[in-house]
Amino acid sequence: MAEKIKGKAVVGQSGGPTMVINQSLVGVVEEARKHPEITGILGAKHGVRGIIEEKFLDFASVDQATLEAVAVTPSSALGSSRDKPDAEYCKKIFDVFRKHDVRYFYYIGGNDSADTARIVNDLAKDNNYDLQAFHVPKTIDNDLRTTDHCPGYGSAAKFVASAFMGDDQDNRALPGVKINVVMGRHAGFLTAASVLARTRDGEGPHLIYVPEVDFIEDKFLADVDAIMKKCGRCMIAVSEGIHDAQGNAITAKVAASNERDAHGNIQLSGTGALGDYLSGLIKAKLGVKRVRADTFGYLQRSFAGIYSKVDAAEARIVGQKAVEYSTQGISGSSVAMKRVGNGANYAVEYFHTDIKNVARETKPLPREFINAEGNNILDSFKDYVAPLVDVLPTVGYLF
């Protein structure tokens, strides 16, 4: 085996936070501390932005107790970034790495972050500079390719399922139509997790709309009408990313109709727009009196105290594995999981995969989990998602 590359490590967090992205961060740091060839660990503040501005936190000053407190804290403790580095930006990153003798780079994020890690890795290769660049996966959208599922998803799915469990009881108590808008611009995995709340026949969510199926308003109204006639109430899960047959996001359409307010110059584009629009549609077209819409928003990804223990443990290991693999001479890769047991025997194996198998493109919710009509999620999806969310609360019924 070749001599191990000696130098500093940089770790950063990118994109939308999750409830367990700090577990991955702590996984990276604690594993890196075990490797003498890693001579220092620098945390990039606010992702790539912190690298090019050389804003680093030296983890030498951070004790284990702080790390453990951070691990169970939602969101990105190092700060995050929405920057999407181009070639020139990546060149700056590389220059900073060279300046600080950084030989290990761990970037925790989604498919865009994977692409950043890939570009920097290629730059280093082209310059004959030894750099082990690794992508550490996270996303509540669960839309990364290759891996069975993504760290962050299980906890967000637990939040969504718990929210629907409670809200379905609320809708039973005060019947009407209730719409809940769930995160997920391109993939319906998180919205689909609402199916876990359907613990009895006839309970909600009665309708589930994901971006993998075109959203046709007339069809939607007919769906709601049918459920209202059958159940006297209707719980609906809707992905924020639903779009019409031409691929236009419904949210964008709604925002456009809202450009002017009372002052004539204020844009009313906001997170509540889609739910409010659909709710208005039902009131106007179906004449249902009690229609309410909630948009779960950032609570789905950053609610303190709710996370899946399974997800948290996996997120930690994924961070550790990135360091382990990189110190074995592997670079330009991402950590992925393979499910090797399910249900009560749920288990995963970890492996590394070339970053190009993760970067840029995303994975949609497989069609097999969506019903033929395209307005619901099949119970078979529960087998996929249930082990990831860990334990859910139970609900009791009097009738």
Give residues 174-193 in contact with a copy of itself (rule: CB under 8 A): 174, 178
Q: Give φ, ψ of 314 to 5 degrees.
A: -65, -40
Contact region with a copy of itself (CB under 8 A), list: 3-11, 38-46, 324-332, 341-349: 38-46
Cis check: omega of the bond before 205, within 30 degrees of 0: yes
Among 118, 206, 301, 316, binds a copy of itself (CB under 8 A): 301
Q: Shortest Cβ distance from residue 248 to a copy of itself (Å)?
A: 12
Name the residue nearer to a copy of itself (CB basis): 257 or 380: 257
Alpha helices in 258-391 (DSSP H): 273-286, 299-302, 309-326, 380-389
Q: Shortest Cβ distance from residue 298 to a copy of itself (Å)?
A: 5
Contact region with a copy of itself (CB under 8 A), list: 106-114, 137-145, 173-181, 349-357: 173-181
Taking each helix axis from N to C terminus, what angle separates 273-286 and 217-231, rounded to the nearest 10 degrees?
70
Q: Report the alpha-carbon distance of residue 114 to residue 111 in Å, rounded.
A: 5
Name the residue nearer to a copy of itself (CB basis): 273 or 365: 273
Tell me the catalytic residues.
Answer: 141
Please give the size of the binding site for a copy of itself, defined by CB under 8 A: 85
Q: Shortest Cβ distance from residue 146 to a copy of itself (Å)?
A: 26
Among 34, 54, 64, 69, binds a copy of itself (CB under 8 A): 69
Q: Report the alpha-carbon distance of residue 168 to residue 29 in Å, rounded.
A: 41
- Give yes or no for residue 44 binding a copy of itself (CB under 8 A): no
Name the residue nearer to a copy of itself (CB basis): 17 or 332: 17
**Dihedral sign, Cα of residue 151, residue 156, residue 161, residue 165:** positive
Contact region with a copy of itself (CB under 8 A), list: 80-88, 95-103, 134-142, 356-364: 80-88
DSSP 377: B
Q: Report the alpha-carbon distance of residue 12 to residue 3 in Å, rounded.
A: 26
Of 8-37, which residues contact a copy of itself (CB under 8 A)? 13, 16-17, 19, 22
Q: Give φ, ψ of 42 to 5 degrees.
A: -110, 130
Residue 293: CA atoms inside 13 Å, Cβ hemisphere, count?
Answer: 20
Q: In Å, what is the CA distance from 151 to each residue of 17, 136, 184, 351?
A: 11, 9, 15, 14
Torsion over CA of 12, 14, 18 and 20, rounded to 10 degrees?
Answer: -20
Using only the alpha carbons of the chain, give its radius of gyration: 23
Site string for a copy of itself, 250-289 (x = CB under 8 A): ---xx-xxx--xxx-xxxxxxxxx-xxx-xxx-xx-----
Site string for a copy of itself, 207-246 (x = CB under 8 A): ----------------------------------------
Q: Shortest Cβ distance from residue 165 to a copy of itself (Å)?
A: 4
- Give yes or no for residue 390 binding a copy of itself (CB under 8 A): no
